[in-house]
Amino acid sequence: MAALTIELIGPLCRVDDLEDGHSRGFDPLGEGHDSMFIVRQGAHLFAWRNACPHYDRARMAWKKDEFLTADRSQIVCGAHGAMFRIDTGDCTIGPCLGKRLQAVELAIRAGAVFVVPPYAPSRPKRKLPDAPQNR
């Protein structure tokens, strides 16, 4: 039986490029903005979509590559102040309690970091409501 081959997206960077205890945004599909981010904690990498679940998938960084609270213990949404666990993406404080960030699956190959598909664009086009019918 032949092995299944999956075309990975990237590489985004090398693992060694990610500073422990910090976050970094990435634009894997070339959309012109960071549609995802990675947080490194020791040997663990946690990857999330750059989209707050509270309101219209708002981008979360309060400035480039800054997705964490000042003490770097949680992810924070710069738009709404919601806070999320780094390891699970669960909202701990803010307007989206009970919701979580959307995880991004990563693969490490020879020290390089890749995204495992499927990975869709960050802001799919919305379907506009049908115009009201005159009766």
Residue entry with tokens 């970094």? 24
Q: Which helix (H) or strand (E) holds 15?
A: none
Mean pLDDT of 12-26: 98
Q: Please tell me the predicted confidence (pLDDT) of residue 76.
A: 97
Q: What is the pTM of this model?
A: 0.84
On whether residue 8 sits in a domain, the answer given is no
**Res. 127: pLDDT tops 50:** no
Considering its fold, how many domains does the chain have in total?
1
On whether residue 123 sits in a domain, the answer given is no
CB 12 within 8 A of CB 114: yes
Rounded Cα distance between 70 and 62, Å, is: 11
On whether residue 25 sits in a domain, the answer given is yes
For residue 49, the enclosing domain spans 20-115
Q: Please tell me the predicted confidence (pLDDT) of residue 97.
A: 94
**Res. 90: pLDDT tops 60:** yes
On whether residue 68 sits in a domain, the answer given is yes
Q: Please tell me the predicted confidence (pLDDT) of residue 49.
A: 94
On whether residue 121 sits in a domain, the answer given is no
Q: Where are the alpha helices (DSSP H) in the chain?
A: none
Mean pLDDT of 101-127: 83
Residue 36 maps to which CATH number?
2.102.10.10
Rounded Cα distance between 113 and 50, Å, is: 17
Q: For residue range 37-72, what is the model confidence (pLDDT) as tens digits? A: 999 999 999 999 999 998 766 889 989 999 999 999
On whether residue 101 sits in a domain, the answer given is yes
On whether residue 55 sits in a domain, the answer given is yes
On whether residue 135 sits in a domain, the answer given is no
